[in-house]
Homo-oligomer: A and B are copies of this chain.
């Protein structure tokens, strides 16, 4: 396919993608684990074999990006080189090697009348994936959808259209090699933004779920406009609460890691909350190490009184996901205060407590209503790979279906298989 094609009638074109995706989904959901694994391994080989074409395509995107004046960060996300292409190929192989979630029997029980009921995982159907200009997402998302038996319709950012198109060609080769339908993974063949609106409508019931990957404005638009369920997180405003019974060294190591390991990830801690009982003894060492690593400190009055280079935090700071080397610091009177602050400002992504007091940890983990609640570890563990899911398509902070890291298993749903021996239901 070409990354740019003229679409005479966008609505018909999108409807066609939906119908073909449903047809492919009906084949995919019955495909054997071995067949899907073979396709994923063939995709990895095809990516490696077409590294030259992928880099040539990427050169076009990079040249256009330079001409367009994309930021350094955007250009870095867009850039592919041989190392990144190998990472894409090995990522496909890692997904190939994951356990297949389809057909997994979660529960089985027998009723007094002899009926046996099994709860079995099955694919969702057709997923719409909307992402910004990271060409590798084309492979990651397509592969996770395939692994979980779902057909998908991909919509990547226009800046990476050539690169994504070249990767997509390799995915198609893998599907063909394993005799799976090429419409199992479709890519919207136009950069027309109106195509996204059609996809978000669900294409007349063809699309069961939308997963957006990208910045806050993309996610917000998708959540606002989608007429089908969305798995996503709008932001990751994560807190680490250092309780009065924390081990000071552990607290310092965890807070520094939670903030500074990578500042641009959704699991990065944005606000440090600290009990006033240990603030004087514990905060200076944390502040010193954060400052040495280039982190700006913004604190409430009590924090500013303790740390000379602490700037005054405003109300906005408590509600801001910095995604940068900035941390807000709030001193609280104790657990009640900490829980209230988190309940008010958390984005329900990941929140942590550091304490050696098991009762305090149990209360925090029970009370905090976020997708991931952590005791004595870094919030940066909020990641499907770190959870052992092998790969993730993102992290969800909604209430329904899946919360936290979304891996292959979370991209499935279930049905009940009821086994009888002739039972009829009494009146």
Contact = CB atoms under 8 A, between A and B. Distances in A.
B400 A401 contact: yes
A115 interface: yes
A333 B373 CA distance: 55
Q: Which of A229, A366, A419, A424 has the most CB of B within 10 A?
A: A424
Interface stretch (A12-20, A43-51, A117-125, A302-310): A117-125
A425 B229 contact: no
Interface stretch (A58-66, A91-99, A374-382): A374-382
Given A124-B399, A125-B399, A399-B413, A377 B30 contact: no
A355 to B, nearest CB: 11
A39 interface: no
A235 to B, nearest CB: 14
Interface stretch (A72-80, A177-185, A250-258, A273-281): A250-258
Counted per complex, copies of this chain come to 2
Interface in A85-108: 103
Contacts of A419: 361, 375-377
Contacts of A160: none
Interface string A360-373: 01000111011111
B417 A375 contact: yes
B418 A373 contact: yes
A417 B387 CA distance: 11
Nearest to A422: B250
Contacts of A109: 388
A415 B381 contact: no
B122 A369 contact: yes
- Which secondary structure characterizes the binding site on chain A? mixed
Contacts of A369: 26, 29, 122, 415
B117 A209 contact: no
Contacts of A115: 377, 381, 386
Contacts of A262: 427
A250 B418 CA distance: 16
A399 B111 CA distance: 25
Interface string A380-419: 1100001110000000000111011000000001111111
Given A365-B417, A373-B416, 8 more contacts: A29-B369, A208-B399, A361-B419, A371-B415, A371-B416, A377-B418, A400-B400, A403-B413
The 7 A-B pairs of least Cβ separation, nearest first, read A377-B420, A257-B424, A376-B420, A377-B423, A250-B422, A208-B399, A401-B401
Interface of A: 26, 29-30, 103, 109, 111, 115, 117, 122, 124-125, 208-209, 229, 247, 250, 253-254, 256-258, 261-262, 343, 361, 365-367, 369-378, 380-381, 386-388, 399-401, 403-404, 413-425, 427
18 contacts: A30-B367, A109-B388, A122-B369, A125-B399, A250-B422, A254-B423, A369-B415, A374-B420, A375-B417, A375-B419, A376-B420, A377-B418, A377-B419, A377-B423, A378-B420, A381-B423, A403-B413, A403-B415
